[in-house]
Amino acid sequence: MAMISTSDLRNGMTLNLEDGLFNVVEFQHVKPGKGGAFVRTTLKNVRTGQVVDRTFRAGEKFDRAVMAKREMQFLYRDGGDYVFMDNSSYDQLNVGPSALGDASNYLIEGSTAILVMFEDEIIGTELPAAVELTIAETEPGVQGDRVSGARKPATLETGLVIQVPLFVNPGEKVKVYTRSGEYLTRA
């Protein structure tokens, strides 16, 4: 791992500290009139999502974590695990649902995701901003259901339940925003 100094800090950089892996959300170099300079940082734990404020002395050194992003295709589910294939080396990788988090709600066979890895551990998953999924179950739309803003629950093919307009029927494809899980439009 590469050793870096506080003067090398940048937003978005990942640090390997004794407490775990942290992303630098914000940093500020401070040079008071008296005493030595220091760096005030806001760090986000990559594994837990906890945000902490930490102060380092100027010139302090620590390890920079090298994160690898691998583009992978979701092949199928094997029991509870998700099986991915690396698009460049064609290696297969079994991934538990806990490592994927909410991303598992948007994965269908053949879809592509970018897995962010630190050594052999999956730290995060990057999905496209919107995905197209099929409505598996919802109450059918009735002629006249055109009330502006009215919504009904719909279960997608992945099992995720979202709110859709009244005119959406089972079997239709819809676009879903992956950051918040909201309905965007019919596909």
Predicted confidence band at 146 (pLDDT cuts at 50, 70, 90)? low
Report the pLDDT value the prediction gives residue 26, as an integer from 0 to 100: 92
What's the mean pLDDT in 60-76? 88
CATH classification number, 2-64, choose in 3.40.50.2000, 2.40.30.10, 2.30.30.30, 1.10.3720.10: 2.30.30.30
Q: What angle do CA 163, 95, 177 make, to 5 degrees?
A: 25
Using a pLDDT cut of 90, give the percent of the chain over it.
13
In which band, very low, low, confident or very high, does the pLDDT at 4 lie, cut at 50, 70 and 90?
Answer: confident
Average pLDDT over residues 54-59: 89
Q: How confident is the model at residue 52 (pLDDT cuts 50, 70, 90)?
A: very high
pTM greater than the 0.75 cutoff = no
What mean pLDDT comes out for the span 26-49? 88
Residue linked to tokens 């059918």: 140
Burial (CB count within 10 angstroms: exposed 0-12, middle 13-18, buried 19+), residue 85: middle
pLDDT at 104 exceeding the cut of 90: no
pLDDT at 53 over 90: yes
Q: What is the pLDDT of residue 2?
A: 77
Query: Which residues belong to CATH 2.40.50.140 in the chain?
Result: 68-126, 130-186
Consecutive H or E run containing 20: strand 20-30
Average pLDDT rounded to a whole number, residues 109-132: 87
Mean pLDDT within 6-11: 86
Yes or no: is domain 68-126 CATH 2.40.50.140? yes
pLDDT at res. 147: 63
Measure the CA–CA gap between 60 and 5, rounded to whole angstroms: 6
CATH 2.30.30.30 intervals, the chain:
2-64
Q: How far apart are CA 185 and CA 176, in angstroms?
A: 8
Average pLDDT over residues 101-129: 86
For all residues of the chain together, what is the average pLDDT?
86
Confidence (pLDDT) at 43: 92
CATH architecture of 130-186: Beta Barrel (2.40)
- 187 band by pLDDT with thresholds 50, 70 and 90: confident
